């Protein structure tokens, strides 16, 4: 158990920027001034402790990486709903900035290791939960909550399987994001008489036409390397198809397979169409290029859709369009955000009240229209979703589902960290052989077997 956790810890780097965790609380008592120096004198220390009036107040501390544009609004909506229902419970929002949990995962690992867990934390369903926190024995099973709330048939079976291990259910999915989407600027496409590409060949034709007009074809912001990894995993999906793509994560197909190399070549070609300043931008900055008409397309998960509609007030199908990334129509790259309950957290009953709201129809329908995702529940109110949401809810039902590696579901955290490094180097150096070798080594080193 200890070994497993140390694997998790060794895969994340704790940086100074982590200290900028944006914990916030609306409860005044939480923000009371620090004790004065006099309180540290021996006399003061010896005095009997007077419990602070707020100490008995119930609290729930929610840990995620949802801060800022495109990330935060859904969480705030959920917190508000919870507060309306439970005015006596204080909510502490312990979100740590950084897309895809770039910083949050390291902070979480250190808090869990240090015996200071939050009440509930964001974790992707699949490997990130199961080979990470469940295997390390760090999270509580939630079967009782699922039974009490009658949830077992309220989430798609595939999703419940992704958050289960050995018959126990370990987290509550709040959403399903789609990872294999290309968002595009409609005006640019219409004005240039272009159709959204559905195959790699079409993508290259469209990109060449845009380039010839002086328009940046593809927006990328890989200041945090996971965005490039995402683009690459979608190329893998397009190249392998859903069934074989899945075999990469079970070790049935090795990473030195010729199709991986072909994917790297295609990926390299796609990278030749991106904005020059890609390494200085984060995902929002890249999506913004498309929003402003400074680039034509952006391959991103549909949190970008939340950013477009909730933050930038754009309209789906009017200001921006979308299409599955090349060759992946009929396949849905699943990125599911779920919340788990640390075994060592003090007040599990109160934490479960939060999970109850997060897993309710009402909670999901407050959160997801703002976040750009679709509800994880099968019985949500579809009238609350715009045309993008409604279409995606239908696509999810009829598509082949595949787990995202870039977002933790397909492979252990150790593999994802090494893949991010290899892809980051590939973006600047473009060495196909070397990168396939690095990915194969990561596959072997992380026990990815069926």
**Closest by CA position to 267, among listed 196, 334, 326:** 326
Residue 235 CB contacts under 8 Å (≥ 6 apart), including other chains? 200, 263, 266, 267, 270, 325, 326
Q: Which of these segments, 98-106, 128-136, 265-273, 342-350, binds ligand GAL (CB under 6 A)? A: 98-106
* CB closer to ligand GAL out of 283 and 426: 283
Q: Which of 12, 78, 99, 194 binds ligand GAL (CB under 6 A)?
A: 99
In 3-state terms the chain splits into helix, strand, coil percentages (rounded to 5) of: 50, 15, 35
With tokens 């199961």, the residue in question is 130
User: The tokens of 279 are what?
Assistant: 């390494």
**Where in 6-65 is the site for ligand GAL (CB under 6 A)?**
65
**Quick one: 345 exposed, middle or buried, by C-beta within 10 A (0-12, 13-18, 19+)?**
buried
Is beta strand 175-178 parallel, antiparallel or unpaired with respect to 374-375?
antiparallel
**Where in 167-186 is the site for ligand GAL (CB under 6 A)?**
177
Give min distance, CB of 100 to ligand GAL, in A.
Answer: 4
Q: Which of 90, 311, 337, 365 binds ligand GAL (CB under 6 A)?
A: 337
Give min distance, CB of 403 to ligand GAL, in A.
Answer: 12
Give min distance, CB of 177 to ligand GAL, in A.
Answer: 6
Contact map string, positions 273 to 312, toward ligand GAL, x by CB under 6 A: ----------------------------x-x---------
Task: Please report whether residue 160 would count as binding ligand GAL according to CB under 6 A.
Answer: no
Q: Which of 136, 290, 335, 370 binds ligand GAL (CB under 6 A)?
A: 335
Task: Report the distance separating Cα 308 and Cα 320, nearest Å.
Answer: 8
Contact map string, positions 355 to 374, toward ligand GAL, x by CB under 6 A: --------------------
Q: Which of these segments, 97-105, 164-172, 206-214, 376-384, binds ligand GAL (CB under 6 A)? A: 97-105
Binding residues for ligand GAL, rule: CB under 6 A, are 65-66, 71, 99-101, 177, 301, 303, 335, 337, 407
């Amino acid at each position: 158990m200890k070994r497993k956790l140390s694997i998790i810890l060794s895969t994340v780097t704790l940086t100074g920027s982590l200290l900028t965790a944006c914990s916030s609380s609306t409860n005044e008592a939480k923000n009371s001034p620090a004790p004065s120096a006099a309180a540290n004198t021996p006399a003061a220390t010896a005095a009997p402790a007077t419990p602070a009036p707020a100490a008995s107040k119930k609290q729930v501390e929610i840990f995620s990486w949802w801060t800022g544009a495109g990330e935060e609004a859904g969480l705030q909506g959920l917190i508000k709903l919870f507060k309306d229902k439970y005015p006596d419970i204080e909510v502490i929002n312990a979100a740590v900035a950084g897309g895809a949990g770039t910083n949050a995962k390291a902070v979480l690992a250190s808090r869990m290791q240090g015996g200071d867990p939050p009440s509930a934390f964001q974790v992707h369903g699949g490997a990130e939960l199961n080979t990470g926190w469940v295997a390390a024995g760090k999270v509580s099973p939630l079967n009782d909550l699922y039974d009490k709330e009658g949830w077992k048939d309220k989430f798609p079976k595939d999703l419940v399987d992704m958050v289960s291990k050995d018959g126990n259910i370990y987290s509550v999915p709040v959403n399903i994001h789609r990872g294999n989407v290309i968002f595009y600027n409609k005006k640019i496409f219409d004005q240039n008489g272009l159709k959204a590409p559905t195959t790699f060949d079409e993508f290259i034709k469209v990109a060449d036409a845009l380039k010839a007009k002086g328009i940046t074809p593809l927006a990328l912001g890989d200041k945090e390397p996971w965005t490039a990894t995402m683009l690459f995993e979608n190329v893998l999906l397009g190249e392998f198809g859903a069934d074989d793509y899945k075999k990469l994560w079970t070790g049935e197909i090795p990473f030195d397979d010729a199709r991986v190399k072909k994917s790297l070549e295609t990926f390299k070609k796609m990278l030749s169409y991106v904005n020059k300043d890609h390494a200085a931008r984060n995902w929002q900055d890249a999506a913004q290029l498309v929003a402003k008409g400074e680039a034509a397309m952006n391959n991103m998960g549909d949190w970008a859709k939340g950013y477009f509609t909730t933050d930038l007030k754009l309209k789906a199908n009017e200001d921006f369009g979308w299409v599955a990334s090349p060759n992946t129509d009929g396949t849905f790259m699943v990125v599911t955000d779920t919340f788990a309950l640390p075994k060592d957290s003090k007040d599990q009953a109160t934490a479960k009240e939060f999970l109850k709201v997060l897993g309710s129809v009402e909670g999901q329908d407050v959160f997801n229209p703002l976040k750009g995702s679709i509800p994880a529940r099968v019985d949500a109110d579809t009238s609350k979703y715009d045309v993008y949401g409604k279409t995606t809810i239908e696509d999810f039902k009829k598509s082949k589902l595949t787990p995202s590696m870039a977002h933790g579901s397909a492979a252990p955290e150790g593999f994802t960290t090494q893949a991010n490094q290899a892809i980051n180097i590939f973006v600047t150096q473009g060495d196909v052989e070397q990168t396939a070798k690095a990915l194969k080594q990561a596959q072997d080193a992380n026990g990815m077997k069926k």
